[in-house]
């Protein structure tokens, strides 16, 4: 599945989350569960809510901080009373929150993009960057929710249309800054932008960081595809003559035929890195934008030494970035890159409620003969805390639910 973003009014973290929740409301429970793990103060709440601006129907994602700024709003806002948090504090909060590993890694990676940009603007190391507006709970929750949804939806690729850049000035803890702010300009380097004549902040730092992390292409894919789900995520500002909305569109291959696409295959071997450290590095590689899969296998290297062969699948436009991360996260001295064609069946992830616990994801794929195959996500099944027999019962139960939803016979 490919997801295309239409930034009609612009993009902010809350707009991105709202648009995805509008299109995939079944992931709302996972977002709520993930946010609960952050341990926000009692006065901080988050909720998705239906919204219409009189032109389009959609959703908003509202974070209320009753302590710092009641009621909290996104967009052009002042945060004089919000807490100041260093990047290292936010990273530690996310890494110790109990969020699933890939989600925490993705959320940290999004914040790292912000820290690098802010560090470059202010001339400090990323670890020493102190966030002011972005250190507030609303931004932490927005980015966490975005990471959860990107992980849950599992899109193979992303694209975004030209971004309205806005104009004017914005009040920040550093004083008045031009729109777009300097860090946003750095994060959007290479992105197509335009001025539609409407002033104000159109792309927020959190929105820019999420886009930078996704590394989208700048045009929807060509070829015949099935128009899938559509979501509208609204911001709080109002513009004359245009909806302040981010639209997401899911574009899916035609059922049963398999989608042909070109991907990059990266290969390398490692024989001098501890298994523990290599495991950490490969888990981080899996969370990198544009990386589709990472596998490893034992092999014999030179002089009869045992080694690990690693294969990384990535989008073609993310191959160079993936190679750089391979060289950074492992001890290999070189990476081989090839382009290959693959066919991918239409698939989707369906959340199945599991009593009072977090829902269990079930992946469903449509085979060429039209039959559906389903498979429960083992990480979600394992979270039920049962023994082997209990896990097997949970797996069979949730898979049967999805088969019934898809009109298949349980068997």
For residue range 210-223, list pLDDT tens digits in order. 999 998 988 777 66
Indicate whether 123 and 213 sit together in one domain.
yes
Taking each helix axis from N to C terminus, what angle separates 13-23 and 137-153, rounded to the nearest 10 degrees?
40
Q: How many Cβ atoms sit within 10 Å of the Cβ of residue 185?
A: 17
Average pLDDT score over residue span 260-266: 86
Indicate whether 97 and 242 sit together in one domain.
yes
Q: How many Cβ atoms sit within 10 Å of the Cβ of residue 133?
A: 22
Indicate whether 153 and 289 sit together in one domain.
no
Indicate whether 6 and 65 sit together in one domain.
yes
Between CA 190 and CA 314 the distance in angstroms is 20
Better-predicted residue by pLDDT, 69 or 20: 20
pLDDT of residue 39: 86
* Structure-token pair, residue 134: 């972005």
Q: CB neighbours of 299 closer than 8 A, spacing ≥ 6? A: 269, 306, 307, 308, 309
Q: Which of 312, 344, 376 is the endpoint of a domain?
A: 344
Q: Which of 252, 279, 309 is the endpoint of a domain?
A: 252
Between CA 295 and CA 371 the distance in angstroms is 28
Indicate whether 147 and 25 sit together in one domain.
yes
Decide if 411 is inside a domain: no
pLDDT tens digits along 32-86:
999 999 988 877 888 899 999 988 999 999 988 765 554 434 433 333 445 577 8
Decide if 410 is inside a domain: no
pLDDT at 194 over 80: yes
**Confidence band, pLDDT 50/70/90 cuts, at residue 255:** low
Average pLDDT score over residue span 227-233: 94
Decide if 18 is inside a domain: yes
Q: How many Cβ atoms sit within 10 Å of the Cβ of residue 171?
A: 14
Decide if 16 is inside a domain: yes
pLDDT of residue 269: 95
Decide if 267 is inside a domain: yes
Indicate whether 379 and 298 sit together in one domain.
no
DSSP H helices, 257-335, are 275-287, 319-329
**Confidence band, pLDDT 50/70/90 cuts, at residue 173:** low
pLDDT of residue 409: 43
Decide if 308 is inside a domain: yes
pLDDT of residue 254: 63
What SS3 state is found at 101? helix
b/e 4-37 (16+ beta carbons within 10 angstroms → b): bbbbbbbbbbbbbbbbbbbbbeebbebbeebbeb
**Confidence band, pLDDT 50/70/90 cuts, at residue 174:** low
pLDDT tens digits along 97-114:
888 888 999 999 999 998
Q: Are 306 and 300 in contact (CB under 8 A)?
A: yes
Indicate whether 33 and 168 sit together in one domain.
yes
Among candidate residues 153, 160, 182, the one with its CA nearest the CA of residue 169: 182
Between CA 14 and CA 245 the distance in angstroms is 11
Indicate whether 272 and 398 sit together in one domain.
no
Average pLDDT score over residue span 348-358: 78
Q: Is residue 180 reached through a cis peptide bond, with omega within 30 degrees of 0 on the bond before it?
A: yes
* Structure-token pair, residue 340: 């290959």
Polymer length in residues for the chain: 411
pLDDT of residue 144: 94
Q: How many domains does the chain have?
A: 3
pLDDT of residue 256: 52
Indicate whether 226 and 365 sit together in one domain.
no
* Structure-token pair, residue 54: 């009189």
Q: Are 202 and 9 in contact (CB under 8 A)?
A: yes
CATH at 323: 3.30.70.1380
Indicate whether 319 and 364 sit together in one domain.
no
* Structure-token pair, residue 9: 């009014």
- Give me the chain's average pLDDT, please: 85
**Worst-scoring range by mean pLDDT, 55-64, 324-333, 346-355, 395-404?**
346-355
Dihedral, CA of residue 106, residue 107, residue 110 and residue 115, to nearest 10: -130
pLDDT of residue 270: 95
Average pLDDT score over residue span 272-299: 93
Indicate whether 191 and 319 sit together in one domain.
no
pLDDT of residue 350: 85
Q: Which of 344, 364, 391 is the endpoint of a domain?
A: 344
Decide if 39 is inside a domain: yes
Indicate whether 236 and 274 sit together in one domain.
no
Chain-centroid distance of CA 8 in Å reads 20
Average pLDDT score over residue span 354-367: 80
pLDDT tens digits along 113-124:
988 888 887 777
**Confidence band, pLDDT 50/70/90 cuts, at residue 172:** low
pLDDT at 134 over 60: no
Average pLDDT score over residue span 188-208: 90
pLDDT of residue 130: 73
Among candidate residues 178, 156, 183, the one with its CA nearest the CA of residue 347: 156
Decide if 360 is inside a domain: yes
Kindly provide the residue ranges of all beta strands, DSSP E only, lying in 258-321, ordered along the sequence.
259-270, 291-300, 306-315
Q: Which of 139-148, 219-228, 386-395 has maximum average pLDDT?
A: 139-148
Domain residues for the domain of 400 are: 347-405
b/e 385-399 (16+ beta carbons within 10 angstroms → b): eeeeeebeebbeebb
Among candidate residues 191, 208, 213, 215, the one with its CA nearest the CA of residue 246: 208
pLDDT of residue 73: 40
Dihedral, CA of residue 318, residue 97, residue 79 and residue 73, to nearest 10: 80
pLDDT of residue 85: 78
Better-predicted residue by pLDDT, 68 or 261: 261
């Amino acid at each position: 599945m490919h997801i295309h973003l239409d930034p009609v009014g612009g993009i902010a973290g809350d707009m991105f989350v709202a648009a995805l929740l509008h299109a995939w409301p079944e992931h709302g429970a996972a977002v709520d569960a993930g946010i609960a793990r952050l341990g926000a103060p009692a006065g901080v709440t988050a909720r998705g809510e239906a919204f219409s601006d009189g032109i389009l129907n959609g959703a908003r994602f509202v974070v209320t901080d009753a302590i710092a700024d009641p009621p909290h709003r996104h967009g052009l806002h002042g945060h004089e009373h919000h807490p100041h948090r260093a990047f290292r504090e936010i990273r530690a909060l996310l890494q110790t929150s109990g969020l699933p590993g890939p989600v925490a890694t993705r959320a940290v990676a999004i914040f790292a993009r912000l820290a690098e940009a802010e560090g470059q603007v202010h001339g400090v190391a990323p670890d020493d960057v102190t966030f002011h507006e972005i250190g507030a709970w609303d931004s932490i929750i927005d980015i966490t929710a975005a990471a959860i949804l990107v992980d849950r939806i599992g899109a193979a690729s992303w694209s975004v249309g030209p971004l309205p850049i806005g104009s004017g000035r914005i009040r920040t803890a550093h004083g008045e800054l031009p729109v777009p702010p300097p860090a946003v300009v750095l994060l959007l380097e290479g992105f197509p932008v335009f001025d539609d004549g409407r002033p104000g902040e159109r792309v927020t730092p959190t929105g820019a960081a999420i886009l930078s992390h996704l590394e989208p292409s700048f045009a929807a894919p060509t070829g015949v595809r099935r128009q899938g789900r559509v979501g509208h995520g609204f911001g709080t500002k109002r513009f004359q003559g245009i909806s302040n909305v981010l639209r997401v569109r899911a574009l899916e291959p035609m059922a049963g035929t398999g989608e042909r696409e070109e991907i990059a295959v990266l290969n390398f071997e490692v024989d001098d890195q501890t298994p523990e450290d290599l495991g950490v590095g490969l888990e981080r590689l899996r969370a990198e934008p544009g990386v589709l899969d990472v596998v490893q296998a034992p092999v014999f290297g030179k002089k009869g030494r045992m080694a690990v062969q690693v294969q990384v699948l990535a989008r073609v436009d993310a191959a160079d970035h993936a190679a750089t991360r391979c060289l950074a996260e492992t001890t290999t001295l070189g990476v081989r890159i090839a382009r290959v064609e693959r066919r991918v069946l239409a698939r989707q992830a369906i959340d199945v409620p599991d009593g009072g616990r977090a829902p269990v994801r079930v992946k469903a794929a449509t085979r060429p003969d039209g039959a559906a195959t389903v498979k429960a996500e083992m990480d979600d099944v394992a979270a039920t805390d049962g023994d082997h027999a209990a896990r097997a019962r949970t797996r069979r139960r949730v898979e049967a639910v999805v088969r019934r939803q898809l009109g298949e016979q349980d068997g």
